[in-house]
């Protein structure tokens, strides 16, 4: 009978398989910060209420994708963690 390799951390034994999975979860980083998520959420609410206006023209925004783009743009201006624009 084979035994699985174990690793001792702070007096607790873990099988190596589980340690690798935990390590993978730790290394995955969020693309968007909480501030940017909050900004997008605010803009979506404004759009649903009919209060969200686009930039120079001032027209009412009705497309959810446009509301998300406006929210991410505002978050970028405030310095929140948001990926660069795809051009």
Show me where the domains of the chain are located: 34-78
The predicted pLDDT at position 19 comes to 46
DSSP states of 2-23 as a string? Answer: ----EEEETTEEEEHHHHHHHH
72 membership: H or E segment, kind and range: helix 64-78
Alpha-carbon distance 21 to 16, whole Å? 9
Alpha-carbon distance 59 to 50, whole Å? 10
The residue ranges of the chain whose pLDDT is under 70 are 1-29, 87
pLDDT in tens, 56-81: 899 999 999 999 999 999 999 999 88
Task: Provide the 3-class DSSP secondary structure of residue 1.
Answer: coil
């Amino acid at each position: 009978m084979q035994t699985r390799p174990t690793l001792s951390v702070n007096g607790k034994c873990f099988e190596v398989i589980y340690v690798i999975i935990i390590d993978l979860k730790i290394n995955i980083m969020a693309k968007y910060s909480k501030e940017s998520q909050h900004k997008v959420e605010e803009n979506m609410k404004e759009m649903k209420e009919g209060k969200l206006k686009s930039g120079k023209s001032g027209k009412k925004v009705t497309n959810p994708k446009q509301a998300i783009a406006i929210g991410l743009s505002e978050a970028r201006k405030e310095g929140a963690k948001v990926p660069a624009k795809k051009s």
